[in-house]
């Protein structure tokens, strides 16, 4: 079986992960962040620009959006989408901006991978203007995403704990109490936490497995061709409950969303 994948991790993200689950969240996050015309907005860990592009549509010609990410390949793809947005290389833990530079600071599904989450929160709060809003989305616990929970269990059964834990990494920041403690430590005294459900949609079981195969942040490099062939064969059975009449894969993936207004 040919499980052919795009050439680069950035293209895998853009061609496969974005339409399957991340595209939905851009406008949702822009609305929750209350991004408005004329505002200056920073998207931290912007990836290929899903949220930054949504923010740009909200701020209009009089506003300004900056998308920041440590991955140049991601930024190059983002620039092709909207060259009017300012795309910058940088890390959340050390933002290259002056204090009180932005009306809104947002981050969509990057927080789980920050090296120092408390420092990143403090930095995002630092560059926010008084009365500005910080909005961050993280994946909720994996057992709330039934399709991914089934896949994690299958990986555990077939290949052991190390592989299963690598796949579970994006769901590692779902402890609500820990999230709120981090917010307090970072100076976010009025942070709130909400849950929002979002869809996951792959065109087929093969597409889902091929996407995970190519993802350098989870399974990429951990399994060989024979192991992925076995994974695909077993996935054909366990994903039957998530198939539509057209043979597409659909299930829910909720996010935990932190909001905080700077005082």
Q: Is residue 28 part of a domain?
A: yes
d(CA 49, CA 52) in angstroms, rounded, equals 5
| pLDDT at residue 210 in the model | 87
In terms of residue numbers, what domain contains 238?
9-261
Per-residue pLDDT of the chain (263 residues; tens, 9 = 90+): 444 544 588 888 898 899 999 999 999 999 999 999 999 999 999 999 999 999 999 999 999 999 999 999 999 999 999 999 999 999 999 999 999 999 999 999 999 999 999 999 999 999 999 999 999 999 999 999 999 999 999 999 999 999 999 999 999 999 999 999 999 999 999 999 999 999 999 999 999 998 888 777 777 778 888 999 999 999 999 999 999 999 999 999 999 999 999 99
The CATH number for 114's domain is 3.40.50.150
Q: How many domains, in total, are found in the chain?
A: 1
Q: Is residue 234 part of a domain?
A: yes
This prediction's pTM: 0.93
What are the C-alpha distances in Å from 254 to residues 24, 40, 48, 140? 12, 28, 21, 6
Q: Is residue 2 part of a domain?
A: no
Instruction: Name the β-bridge partners of 138.
Output: 256
Q: Is residue 3 part of a domain?
A: no
Q: Is residue 13 part of a domain?
A: yes
d(CA 253, CA 37) in angstroms, rounded, equals 30
Nearby residues of 6 by Cβ (< 8 Å), 6 or more positions away: 12, 15, 16, 214
Burial group, residue 84, by CB count within 10 angstroms (0-12, 13-18, 19+): exposed
| pLDDT at residue 2 in the model | 45
Q: Is residue 123 part of a domain?
A: yes
Q: Is residue 165 part of a domain?
A: yes
């Amino acid at each position: 079986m040919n499980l052919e994948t795009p050439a680069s991790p950035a293209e895998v993200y853009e061609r496969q992960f974005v339409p399957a689950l991340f595209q939905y969240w851009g406008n949702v996050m822009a609305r929750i962040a209350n991004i408005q015309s004329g505002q200056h907005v920073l998207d931290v860990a912007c990836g290929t620009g899903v949220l930054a592009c949504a923010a740009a549509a909200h701020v209009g010609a009089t506003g300004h959006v900056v998308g920041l990410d440590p991955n140049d390949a991601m930024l190059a793809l983002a620039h092709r989408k909207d060259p009017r947005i300012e795309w910058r290389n940088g890390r959340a833990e050390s933002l290259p901006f002056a204090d009180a530079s932005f009306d809104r600071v947002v981050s969509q599904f990057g927080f789980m991978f920050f090296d120092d989450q408390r420092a990143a929160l403090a930095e995002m709060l630092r560059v926010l203007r008084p009365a500005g809003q910080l909005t961050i989305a993280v994946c909720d616990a994996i057992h709330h995403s039934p399709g991914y929970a089934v896949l994690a269990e299958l990986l555990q059964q077939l290949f052991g704990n190390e592989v299963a834990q690598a796949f579970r990494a994006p769901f590692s920041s779902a402890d609500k109490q820990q999230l709120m403690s981090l917010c307090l430590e970072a100076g976010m005294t009025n942070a709130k936490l909400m849950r929002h459900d979002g869809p996951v949609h792959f065109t087929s079981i093969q597409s889902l497995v091929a996407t995970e195969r190519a993802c350098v942040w989870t399974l990429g490099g951990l399994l060989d061709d024979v192991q992925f062939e076995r994974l695909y064969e077993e996935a054909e059975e366990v994903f039957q409950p998530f198939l539509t009449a057209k043979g597409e894969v659909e299930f829910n993936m909720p996010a935990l969303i932190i909001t905080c207004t700077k005082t």
